[in-house]
């Protein structure tokens, strides 16, 4: 009986902790992904996309993906923004497998969001990669939780954005560097 009481106390404490952490993460990502800043990354898109939270369940990717989807809907650039609810278990999948799972969906872009913990007390960083349905990476950027996403300038090409997102990610968060040819 005494053990059951402790388990209940622990379970209640865990539920309270999760309930407090979730809104804080969501609020931070809402400040990061705004309609205006995200619109600059959706230039030229057909307006039909899916936003996929990838990686460990407790990474904060769900909150970041939800905030990004909300900003995409408000940007005026997206006609359809789908969530990843119907994709099944995707947390452990690599990007190519996620894109393949989206192959029959009525979207032109697959946006994969991965979140990596900050080092030394820094906020978490989201690495966002955009793919076409053929699996080609067509854009990428990184953003830190709570810090507004910088608007992409006309001078910054898709290749520069991909290089920046992956090299910044690899130096700070052990994301493998990606070498892209033909962009």
Over residues 17-41, mean pLDDT? 73
Average pLDDT of every residue of the chain: 77
Which is it for strands 137-144 and 125-132: parallel, antiparallel or unpaired?
A: antiparallel
pLDDT of residue 18: 35
Task: Map out the domains of the chain as residue ranges.
Answer: 2-173
Segment 145-178, tens digit of pLDDT: 999 999 887 545 545 555 444 444 444 334 433 4
Residue 95's pLDDT band (boundaries 50, 70, 90)?
A: very high
How far separated are the first and last CA of the chain, in Å rounded?
65
Q: 2-24: per-residue pLDDT in tens?
A: 545 444 444 333 333 333 334 45
Taking the model in full, what pTM does it have? 0.73
C-alpha span between 165 and 18 (Å, rounded)? 29
| φ, ψ at 131 (rounded to 5°) | -120, 150
* Vertex 138 angle, CA 162 and 171, to 5°: 20
What fold characterizes domain 2-173? Rossmann fold (3.40.50)
């Amino acid at each position: 009986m005494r053990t059951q009481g402790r388990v209940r106390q622990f379970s209640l404490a865990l539920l309270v902790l999760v309930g407090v952490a979730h809104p804080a993460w969501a609020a931070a990502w809402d400040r990061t992904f705004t309609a205006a800043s995200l619109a600059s990354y959706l230039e030229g898109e057909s307006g039909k996309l899916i936003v996929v939270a990838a990686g460990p369940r407790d990474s904060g990717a769900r909150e970041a993906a939800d905030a990004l989807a909300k900003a995409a809907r408000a940007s005026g650039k997206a006609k359809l923004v789908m969530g990843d609810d119907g994709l099944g278990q995707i947390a452990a999948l690599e990007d190519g497998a996620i894109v393949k799972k989206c192959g029959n969906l009525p979207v032109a872009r697959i946006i994969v969001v991965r979140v990596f913990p900050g080092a030394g007390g820094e906020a978490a960083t989201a690495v966002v990669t955009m793919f076409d349905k053929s699996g080609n990476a067509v854009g990428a950027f990184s953003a830190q939780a709570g810090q507004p996403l910088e608007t992409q300038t006309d001078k910054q090409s898709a290749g520069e954005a991909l290089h920046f997102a992956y090299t910044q990610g690899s130096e700070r968060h052990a994301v493998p560097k990606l070498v892209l040819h033909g962009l």
